Structure 1
Amino acid sequence: MSATPVDAKPAGPRRWGWVFALVWLFYLLNPLEAAWEKRDSLAGWVGVVGTLLFALVYAGAFMMLRWNRPEGTPFRVSPNRSLGLSVVAVEIALGVVVCAAVGQPGTATAVYVAVITMISLPALLAWPVVMVVAGTTYGATILVDGWTKDTGILFGTLVAALAIWGISQAINRNIEVLAVREENARLALEDERNRFARDLHDILGHSLTVITVKAELAQKLFDVDPERARAEVTDLERLSRDALADVRRAVEGYRELTLPGELARARVALEAAEIEAHLPNSTDDVPSSVRELFAWTIREGVTNVVRHSRARTCTVTLTPTSAEVADDGHGPDESAAVGGNGLRGLRERAAAVGATVVTTAREPGFSLKVVVP
């Protein structure tokens, strides 16, 4: 997931979020007005300066934490706990000064202390601080002479802290959901790339094997049988065009793979390799749900026979629940039989429909069989 650099300014709607947050400083006008009414005394000027400094520290801390959080990252408190504690301590001290200078109107600072505490400290530490600030402020309205009991300040302080905590949790959950979506999209893209690579291997592996065999055969026939050599070269052109069409279909996201078509391809490939082919005459008994899987089985099996087996005969057997390609050669080498890309792709396709791929070394020969339950 991409993120804005730490030193970059927020863009778009996020750029103006600070306006929404800092507009609530409007409620500090009450203690500021009370201090201004006492401007003819030292306490009044202390109240004015204290209130302005309180607002400045609050705004500065909020902007610092906001702008240092890259866009798209979770809502976190300051990574520097000492800095967060210092900010909270300064705000509490300034709040006490304002209350001492202007009286009960200064208790409005408690709400801002609660907010700055929630965005400056971890929740496990912030909540006890908020509770102490709320309880102390409410207690002061009861115990300090000349002040009136104010349940609203207790409620407002706790609700403000709860609101900030809730917003942070909502932001974090939304970011987590977006991260999961991006991860799912990445995995889907990776799966699609793997599927495409597997299909491209199967398509080109088969086609290029047949083209190579026919090219070798044509080269041998040039001096012995020019007419047949010319026919083989003509087949080479056709096969190369077919391979190109297969690749184009794969790139476009679809391919026309049919069981009869693969049987026809198998006959051509085996004849080109001078391997006697024993193929079924009909595919009518094969259910439509497994025809594509069986077609891939024939393509992979015949490709391996032509490429590795040095067989004299190859037999393809189809039943409603299985497809088998068997030969009388020496079979593929161990790595090709167990972990080749083609067999790996075939196993993935078989697993998708609950089928099983069985490879068997025989004397002589090798068998590749796919069985559906």
Structure 2
Amino acid sequence: MDPRTRWQRLVWTLPWLLFQVFPLAELVSTPRPAAVRVVAVLGLVAFTVVYLAVFNRMSVRGCGVPWRQLAVVAVLGVGLAVWLGPAWAGLMIYVAAAAAVGLPERWVWPAVGGAAAVCASVLAAHDMLGELFILPLMCVLTGFALRGIRFLVSVNAELTEAREELARAAVAEERLRFARDLHDLLGHSLSLIALKSELAGRLAERDPARARAEMADVESTARRALAEVREAVSGYRQIGVALALAEARAALSAADITLRAPSRVPELPGPVDAVLGWVVREATTNVLRHSGARTVVVTLAVADEDAALTVTDDGRGPAGGAPGAGLSGLEERLAARGGRLDTGEAPGGGFRLAARVPAHARVSAP
């Protein structure tokens, strides 16, 4: 713990030491043998040092119960009060305070009650309980006050830990979101760039004009990918179904893959349009990378309760038959909107990817 916190706690306890004015005044004003005075002063100094050590120890979270220090405080406090009389009975307030901050819950109130009882007994033995009845009461009130403060400190520490944990979770979630966006953005764009570059290389000799057109598309795609990455870094990237289908049509056409998709996309709420746009993009990327498909069919159905988008191809599906990072990212995106993703073999062969999301999806982190 920061040493400044310990000093602050120590300074906070110093006003309580004003109660020691009474035993010191009694020690000066009452004639006593020198040996008694020396022992009394040493006992009071030792009592005060150990008492402050209890409070200082409790400023360190996770420490055990300071049984030894508490025992010393109790023995010295009771011994001095019983030996030297009513002026020293106020030390039992310190005993109650140390018990309230240092003992487990089940031992606090027996210890506080015992301190109050000792204080009352010392006063009664000298016929001063009526005059100084406030001292036993102060023992009990001090126990209540410091126990409440200890509870508030504990709750505040737990809240601080909870805030720190939430902050760490938020950072981790943001990292996952950013990694997912970069994968979806760059995976699609780089696949398209590689495909068109390969096509331009094949056309370079027999159709230079077409090759130049393909390289122009490569340049355009690269510039668009750079802009998308910049937008993603800024947190503003959002792709809709219509734009995703337009990109898919251009990319699949360059690979001689036929795309059958709706010519008109119905109006969708922003979150729904965005998440289904990512579905189209990821499906297109997978087709270009490893499906070997020749035909891709996209259907979009919007009902009152939900929107369903299905992408079916006649290829082999994901490599190895296992979903990759892109499909896992889609599942996370859809789950964040209350939707789900289903993948598997299409009827008659090929691969089928179906996404369903509530038509009025709640807004949450993508």
Instruction: Tell me if both proteins adopt one fold, taking TM over 0.5 as the criterion.
Output: yes
CA distance 1:46–1:345, change in 2 (3 Å): same
Residue matched to 1:83: 68
Whole-Å Cα distance in 2 between the matches of residues 55 and 111 of structure 1?
16
Gap runs ≥5 in structure 1: none
Match of 2:309 among 323, 327, 331: 323
Once residues 300 and 306 of structure 1 are traced to their aligned partners in structure 2, the CA distance between those partners, rounded to angstroms, is 10
Deviation of the 1:133 alpha carbon: 2.0
1:88 & 1:63 partners in 2: Cα distance? 10
- Aligned twin of 2:353: 368
Aligned to 1:97: 80
What is the 5 A alignment of 1:207-222? 207-222=189-204
Give runs of aligned pairs for residues 129-144 of structure 1, distance below 5 A: 129-142=111-124, 144=125
Q: Is the 8 A contact 2:10 2:55 kept in 1?
A: no
- Mean CA deviation greater in 225-234 or 172-181: 225-234
**Cα gap change, 1:148/1:155 in structure 2, threshold over 3 Å: closer, same or farther?**
closer
2:256 alignment partner AA: E
Distance 1:152 1:349 in 2: 66
TM-score by length of 2: 0.87
Q: How far apart in 2 are the matches of 1:68 and 1:286?
A: 58
> 2:25 is matched with which residue?
33
Q: CA offset at residue 257 of structure 1?
A: 0.9
CA contact (8 A) 1:99 1:105 kept: no
Distance in 1 (alpha carbons) for counterparts of 2:342 and 2:292:
21
Match of residue 307 from structure 1: 289
What letter is aligned with 2:143?
A: A
1:7-86 → structure 2 map (5 Å cutoff): 9-10=3-4, 15-39=7-31, 41-42=32-33, 46-47=36-37, 49-51=39-41, 53-63=43-53, 65-66=55-56, 69-70=59-60, 73=61, 79=64, 81-86=66-71
Counterpart residue number, 1:106:
88
**2: CA distance between counterparts of 1:335 and 1:244?**
31
Helix, strand or coil for the counterpart of 1:280? coil
1:85-118 Cα shifts (integer Å, max 9, x gaps): 43234433xx4335423x2211111111211233
Residue 298 of structure 1 is matched in structure 2 by 280
Displacement, 1:180?
A: 1.2
Given the superposition, is the C-alpha separation of residues 145 and 290 from structure 1 closer, same or farther in structure 2, using an over 3 Å criterion? closer
Q: Does structure 2 retain, via aligned residues, the 8 Å contact 1:104–1:147?
A: yes
Tell me, yes or no, if the aligned pair for 1:280 and 1:316 is still in contact at 8 Å. yes
Aligned to 1:10, what secondary structure does the other structure show? helix
* Conserved? CA contact 2:119–2:135, under 8 Å: yes
| Letter of the structure 2 residue corresponding to residue 354 of structure 1 | G
Q: How many angstroms apart in 2 are the aligned matches of 1:187 and 1:308?
A: 35
- Partner residue, 1:255: 237
Tell me if the contact between 1:270 and 1:276 (Cα under 8 Å) persists in the aligned partners.
yes
Question: What secondary structure sits across from 1:245 in the alignment?
Answer: helix
Q: Displacement of 1:253 after TM fit? A: 0.7
Q: Contact conserved, 2:317 with 2:350, CA < 8 A, in 1? A: yes
Residue 347 (structure 1) aligned with residue 341 (structure 2): no
Which residue does 1:280 correspond to in 2?
A: 262
* Contact 2:82–2:122 (Cα < 8 Å) also in 1: no
Among residues 194, 202, 207, which one is paired with 1:225 in the alignment? 207
C-alpha change, 1:290 and 1:270, in structure 2 (3 Å) is same
CA 286–34 in structure 1, closer or farther in 2 if over 3 Å, else same: closer
Q: Write the mapping of 1:168-183 to structure 2, written as runs, cut at 5 A.
A: 168-183=150-165
